């Protein structure tokens, strides 16, 4: 342990030294954007569109943010795992079920790794998937409505980190557990972790038509920490690779105890083999409890189904399906190049990158050249599978993406830089500082068979002095680099929301023509929708009052309601009758213990109000919808609980004639 | 977008107000939005999914080709497609024909653009009311900042002396087709 500490210290010192006399000398006072025409490269004239969409995870915001590149302009925040008062997501009756789990309603999560659906290993721009790390979940977001359409909880998992990565034809979205846990969960001493805890790797099938997700099987692996993962590409399609750390199986003071082994593993999983095994009746169904939440666009409503069992697979029962590739220094990122030949382990406590060869791995497996086993899973010889090492000179490699021109780009957290290197020769071509302590990086399509190698976005953990200070809490910072030339060129900084762990980028042309403008009112199947204002009504069912309301510029129908009593539970079911692009209406009621609603054209949303005080209480439209927006309001008269005033409602009735 | 949306109706109103030719004021400077390129603005947003707006409805109506030509000559396209809601009293071609000979041709001349705009704005009310609902009104405040009288005769509604002969809903308002051109009062 002592020697370990010293080693780390010298490494840090070395990197500081490198940093002080290294590549960082050519920046800051170089004249900046103007002299290098960087400004021109990121300038998107008013009214013009960006060339790429970028979907940045919001980390602890639980959401996904949409940016345009190269401008770095934020276009939208899509609520995924967190309640979002801006639209009423997770507050409206229709969207509350999206956040149901086996633990009940969980209104937040830690969103990490977005990945765009693919066909033949290329981005197809249909959906983006993202994982919730804390209460393990995977979400699917439509890239026509830019709304979260589905969330599936992952049982037998904890710290859902090596997720949500997509196979070549979106056959599966894969979710691996970071924390191993007792499976099934039970009351047991923590110190008995070793050999008792398990790590599950979940393969979630995706319906090719609707995108609906279903857990096909869970592979029950030894109790290591499964950190990140990546599918094989092209020649290695059919395999999936997972980095591990804590092969020590420590359960306390992990920062020391899980760094004892000189090498951990990359687990290589032949999922096609397991799929075949499962399709032939293999695997063990075990009791489980997990929520599956699906949003139906025609009813504008989400429903939750609680699932009761999950199919598990013991890797030892499927010979030839799982192997371990020794990889130095607690590897973090696990990346596969566009040809599928190279599997890159980013050893986060190391200065070097380890690159394994897929061909060599297959040859070693065929020759049965093993270096022992772990829990019955064969371990391959490090030297037999090694393709090469990148001696980068940086420290703390985390993630690698590709430009499709034979180059790879790796982030280094400790030395705060992006390093460009050449696949096959492993030589370092260029390095540029980031500001500061970069995590993931993203090249649009850069983890697929067909990267669009024009820009790389570096997503940093530390901001410090990059922007005007905003108190102790600063938004994180991203940097955009032009990578079209031999050397990278820093173009701009832009702040990002939450903590963007990873991002997925896509040419705008793949998505923008499909972006929905309105929901057709005549296709609205919401049970409380009204398709014409003359269907507006108010109904009482015991102490429940249901208001069937419509909106159009610039009034609510009805806008005067009487006969509501203290103790009632009032449901406002509001259908927006606009059929005009970008004309939502909002709804908010004074004293309501929830957020507003923002209702898109043709959509129905419902909001609950439990009036507590007698009086006449106003509601109004919260979105500046029209020139008469300020007139878009109404009143509800609330009478005492024992009042006998009948329900009545109206619009436009007045006594003065 | 939200911000833009707020801005446009306000600008729209400012614009409508600022060009009030009937009551010219010395300090009236051309609004900066007047520099909008002829092909910029909401009227030129590509959208074949939304329901048609007031301008699109008018363009599709063969009976309103004179009105549409006048709107285009006065550069009022963008005002008719904004969030509104707007109520447009749309004289049919025959109504323009009833004006003294040469009137329309004169108004379409570039030098009479402001006078034309004033007349057209007198045909527009911020708000959206059905013909029946209009019976509740005695007068309406028009977009050129003048008022127009509403009269009910039997089942018919007359606005500024023009009779409503049909009504068509648009995404951002309503068009009441009228049988006469409404001339702004001169005071």
Whether the CA torsion A297, A153, A166, A114 is positive or negative: it is positive
The string of pLDDT tens digits covering residues B118-177 is 999 999 999 999 999 999 999 999 999 999 999 999 999 999 999 999 999 999 999 999
The yes-or-no verdict on residue B28 having pLDDT over 90 is no
d(CA A18, CA B53): 64
Backbone angles phi, psi at B88, to 5 degrees: -110, 125
Q: Quickly list DSSP for A435-463.
A: SS-EEEEE-TTTTSSS--TTEEEEEES--
Cα–Cα nearest to A220, from A181, A251, A170: A181
Q: Chain B: give the shortest CA distance to residue A600, in Å.
A: 12
* B contact set with A (CB within 8 A): 1-2, 5-6, 9, 12-13, 40, 45, 47, 49-51, 53, 82-86, 126-128, 133, 136, 171-173
> B173, A601: Cβ pair inside 8 Å?
no
Q: Compute how many other C-beta atoms are within 10 angstroms of the C-beta atom of residue A297.
A: 17
The residues with which A390 forms a beta bridge, in sequence order, are A353
**Domain A2-209+219-514, CATH among 3.20.20.100, 1.10.8.60, 3.40.50.11740, 2.130.10.10:** 2.130.10.10
Q: Give the residue from chain B lying closest to A578, CA to CA.
A: B171
Considering only CB atoms, which chain B residues are within 8 Å of A73?
A: none
Domain ranges of chain A: 2-209+219-514, 521-650
Chain A interface disruption, residue of B3, B50, B82, most A CBs within 10 A: B50
CATH class of the A521-650 domain in this structure: mainly beta
Low-confidence ranges of chain A (pLDDT < 70): 1-36, 654-657
Cβ pair A274, A217 in contact under 8 A: yes
Q: How far apart are CA A456 and CA A479, in angstroms?
A: 8
Residue found under tokens 């490269």: A41
Residues 6 or more apart whose Cβ sits within 8 Å of residue B7? none
The H-assigned helical ranges of A400-541 are none
Of the candidates A582, A628, A657, the beta carbon closest to that of B126 is on A628
Q: Is A553 part of the contact surface with chain B (CB cutoff 8 Å)? A: yes
Q: Is A596 on the interface with B (CB under 8 A)?
A: no
Tell me how crowded residue A620 is: count the other CB atoms within 10 A of its CB.
Answer: 18
Q: How many whole angstroms separate alpha carbon A166 and alpha carbon A322? A: 19
What was the pLDDT predicted at A359? 98
Q: How far is CA B89 from the centre of its chain?
A: 7
Contact between residue A346 and residue A399 where contact means Cβ atoms under 8 Å apart: yes
Which whole-number Å values give the CA distances from A492 to A56, A171, A399, A454, in the listed order?
16, 37, 21, 14
Residues of A in contact with B86 (CB under 8 A): 627
CA trace torsion A304, A305, A309, A311 (10° rounding): -80
Q: How far is CA A452 from CA A53, A232, A420, A493, A592, in A?
A: 12, 19, 16, 20, 48
Summarised one tens digit per residue, pLDDT across range B33-43 is 445 556 677 87
Please give the full DSSP string across A30-70, using - where no structure is assigned: S-HHHHHTHHHHH---TT---SEEEEEE-BTT-SEEEEEET
pLDDT of B37 reads: 59
Interchain CB distance below 8 Å, B85 and A554: yes
Residue A392 has what pLDDT?
A: 81
What pLDDT does B36 receive? 52
Predicted TM-score (pTM) of this structure: 0.88
A518–B49 CB contact, under 8 Å = yes
How would DSSP label each residue in B20-56? -SSS--TT-PPPGGGG--TT-SGGG---SSSPP-HHH
> CB–CB of A624 and B6 under 8 A?
yes
Does A554 contact B at CB distance below 8 Å? yes
Distance between A188 CA and the closest CA of chain B, angstroms: 54
Q: What is the CA radius of gyration of chain A?
A: 27
d(CA A171, CA A173): 7
Chain B: closest CA distance from residue A470 (Å):
23
Q: Residues of B with CB below 8 A from A624's CB? A: 2, 5-6, 9
Q: What is the distance between the terminal CA atoms of chain B, rounded to a whole angstrom?
A: 41
> Residue B38's pLDDT is what?
60
Closest B-chain CA to A46 = B40
Interchain contact A628–B (C-beta under 8 A): yes
- Is A625 within 8 Å of chain B by CB? yes
Per-residue pLDDT tens over the stretch A406-454: 999 999 999 999 999 999 999 999 999 999 999 999 999 999 999 999 9
Query: A337 and chain B: CB distance < 8 Å anywhere?
Result: no
Do A61 and A109 form a contact (C-beta atoms < 8 A)? Answer: no
CA separation, residue A338 to residues A173, A388, A427, B33 (Å): 18, 17, 18, 50
Range 498-517 of A in CB contact (< 8 A) with B? 517
Q: Tell if the CB–CB gap between B51 and A579 is shorter than 8 Å.
A: yes
CA distance A169 to A556: 46
Q: What domains, with CATH codes, occur in chain B?
A: 2-24+50-178 (2.30.180.10)
* Residues from chain A contacting residue B6 (CB–CB below 8 Å): 624
- Over range B71-88, report the average pLDDT: 90
Collect all residues of chain B within an 8 Å Cβ-Cβ radius of residue A517: 47, 49-50
Mean pLDDT of chain B: 82
Please tell me if residue A518 touches chain B, with a CB cutoff of 8 Å: yes
Q: Which residues contact A265 (CB under 8 A, 6 or more apart)?
A: A224, A243, A244, A247, A324, A325, A326, A327, A374, A379
pLDDT at B46: 82
Of B12, B49, B83, the CB nearest to A625: B83
A227-248: pLDDT as tens digits: 999 999 999 999 999 999 999 9
pLDDT of B1: 39
Distance CA A77, CA A70 (A): 18
CB A541 within 8 A of CB A565: no
Chain A residues within an 8 Å CB radius of B14: none
Residue with token string 């830019």: A146
The reply to whether A2-209+219-514 and A521-650 are identical in fold is: no
From residue A548, how far is each of A97, A300, A528, A539, A583 by CA, in Å?
Answer: 21, 15, 7, 8, 20
| Cβ distance of A627 and B45 shorter than 8 Å | no
Facing residue for B84 by CB, picked from A47, A627, A652 = A627
A310: tokens are 């999950």
The closest CB to that of A581, out of B6, B47, B82, belongs to B47
How far is B41 from B80, CA to CA, in rounded Å? 11
Nearest CA in chain B to A516: B49
**Which residues in chain B have their CB less than 8 angstroms from residue A657's CB?**
136
**Whole-angstrom Cα distance, residue A451 to residue A122?**
8
> Rounded to a whole number, what is the distance in Å from the CA of B29 to chain A's nearest CA?
23
Q: Which of B42, B44, B49, B132 to mutate to test the interface with A (most CBs of A within 10 A)?
A: B49
Cα B68 from Cα B60, distance rounded (Å): 10
The ipTM is 0.73
The answer to whether A303 contacts chain B (CB < 8 Å) is: no
């Amino acid at each position: 342990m002592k020697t370990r500490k010293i080693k780390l210290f010298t490494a840090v010192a070395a990197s500081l030294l490198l940093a002080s006399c290294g590549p960082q000398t050519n920046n800051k006072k170089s004249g900046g954007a103007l002299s290098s025409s960087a400004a021109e490269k990121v300038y998107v004239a008013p009214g013009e569109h960006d060339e790429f969409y970028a979907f940045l995870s919001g980390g602890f915001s639980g959401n996904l943010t949409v940016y345009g590149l190269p401008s770095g302009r934020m276009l939208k925040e899509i609520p995924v795992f967190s309640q979002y008062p801006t639209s009423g997501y997770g507050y409206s009756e229709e969207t509350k079920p999206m956040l149901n789990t086996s633990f009940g309603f969980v209104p937040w999560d830690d969103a990490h790794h977005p990945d765009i659906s693919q066909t033949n290993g290329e981005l197809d721009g249909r959906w983006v998937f993202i994982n919730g790390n804390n209460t393990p979940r995977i979400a699917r977001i439509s890239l026509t409505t830019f709304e979260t359409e589905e969330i599936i909880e992952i049982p037998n998992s904890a710290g859902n980190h090596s997720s949500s990565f997509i196979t070549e034809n979106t056959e599966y979205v894969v979710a691996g557990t970071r924390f191993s846990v007792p499976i099934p969960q039970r009351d047991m001493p923590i110190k008995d972790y070793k050999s008792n805890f398990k790590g599950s790797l979940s393969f979630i099938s995706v319906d090719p038509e609707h995108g609906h997700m279903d857990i096909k099987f869970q592979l029950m692996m030894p109790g290591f920490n499964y950190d990140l993962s990546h599918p094989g590409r092209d020649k290695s399609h059919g395999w999936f690779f997972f980095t591990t750390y804590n092969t020590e199986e420590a359960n306390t003071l992990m920062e020391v105890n899980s760094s004892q082994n000189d090498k951990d593993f990359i687990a290589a999983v032949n999922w096609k083999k397991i799929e075949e095994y499962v399709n032939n009746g293999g695997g063990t169904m075990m009791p489980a409890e997990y929520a599956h939440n699906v949003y139906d666009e025609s009813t504008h409503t989400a429903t939750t189904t609680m699932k009761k069992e999950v199919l598990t697979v013991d890797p030892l029962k499927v010979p030839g399906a799982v192997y371990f590739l020794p990889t130095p220094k607690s590897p973090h990122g696990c990346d596969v190049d566009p040809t599928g030949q190279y599997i890159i382990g980013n050893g986060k406590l190391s200065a070097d990158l380890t690159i394994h060869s897929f061909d060599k791995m297959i040859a070693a497996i065929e020759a049965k050249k093993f270096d022992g086993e772990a829990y019955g899973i064969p371990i391959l010889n490090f030297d037999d599978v090694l393709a090469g090492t990148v001696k980068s000179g940086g420290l703390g490699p985390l993630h690698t993406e590709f430009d499709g021109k034979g180059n790879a780009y790796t982030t280094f957290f400790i030395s705060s830089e992006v390093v460009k290197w050449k696949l096959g020769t492993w030589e370092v071509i260029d390095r540029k500082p980031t500001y500061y302590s970069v995590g993931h990086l993203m090249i649009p399509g850069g983890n697929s068979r067909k990267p669009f190698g024009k820009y790389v976005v570096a997503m940093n953990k530390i901001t410090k002095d990059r922007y005007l200070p905003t108190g102790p809490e600063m938004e994180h910072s991203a940097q955009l680099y032009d990578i079209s030339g031999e050397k990278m060129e820093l173009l701009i900084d832009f702040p990002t929301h939450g903590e963007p762990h990873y991002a997925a980028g896509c040419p705008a042309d793949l998505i923008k023509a499909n972006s929905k403008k309105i929901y057709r009112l005549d296709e609205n199947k919401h049970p409380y929708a009204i398709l014409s204002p003359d269907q507006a009504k108010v109904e009482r069912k015991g102490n429940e009052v249901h208001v069937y309301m419509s909106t159009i510029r610039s009034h609510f129908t009805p806008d005067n309601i009487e006969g509501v009593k203290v103790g009632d539970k009032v449901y406002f079911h509001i259908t927006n009758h606009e059929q005009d692009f970008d004309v939502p209406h909002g709804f908010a009621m004074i004293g309501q213990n929830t957020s507003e609603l923002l209702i898109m054209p043709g959509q129905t949303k419902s909001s609950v109000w439990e009036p507590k005080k007698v009086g006449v209480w106003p509601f109004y439209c919260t979105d500046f919808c029209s020139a008469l927006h300020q007139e878009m309001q109404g009143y509800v008269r609330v009478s005492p609980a024992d009042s006998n005033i009948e329900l009545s409602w109206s619009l436009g009735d007045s006594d003065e004639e | 977008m939200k911000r833009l949306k707020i801005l446009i109706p306000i600008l729209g109103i400012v614009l409508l107000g600022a060009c009030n030719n009937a009551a010219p004021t010395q300090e009236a400077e051309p609004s900066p939005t007047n520099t909008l390129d002829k092909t910029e603005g909401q009227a030129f947003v590509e959208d074949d999914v939304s329901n048609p707006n007031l301008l699109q409805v008018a363009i599709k109506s063969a009976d309103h080709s004179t009105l549409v030509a006048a709107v285009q000559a006065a550069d009022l396209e963008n005002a008719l497609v904004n969030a509104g809601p707007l109520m447009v009293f749309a004289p049919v071609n025959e109504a323009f024909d009833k004006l003294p000979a040469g009137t329309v041709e004169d108004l379409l001349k570039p030098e009479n653009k402001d006078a034309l705009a004033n007349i057209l704005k007198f045909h527009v009310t911020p708000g959206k009311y059905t013909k029946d609902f209009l019976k509740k009104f005695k007068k309406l405040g028009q977009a050129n900042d003048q008022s127009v009288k509403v009269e009910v005769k039997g089942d018919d509604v007359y606005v500024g002396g023009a009779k409503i002969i049909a009504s068509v809903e648009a995404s951002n308002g309503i068009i009441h087709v009228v049988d006469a051109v409404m001339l702004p009062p001169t005071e």
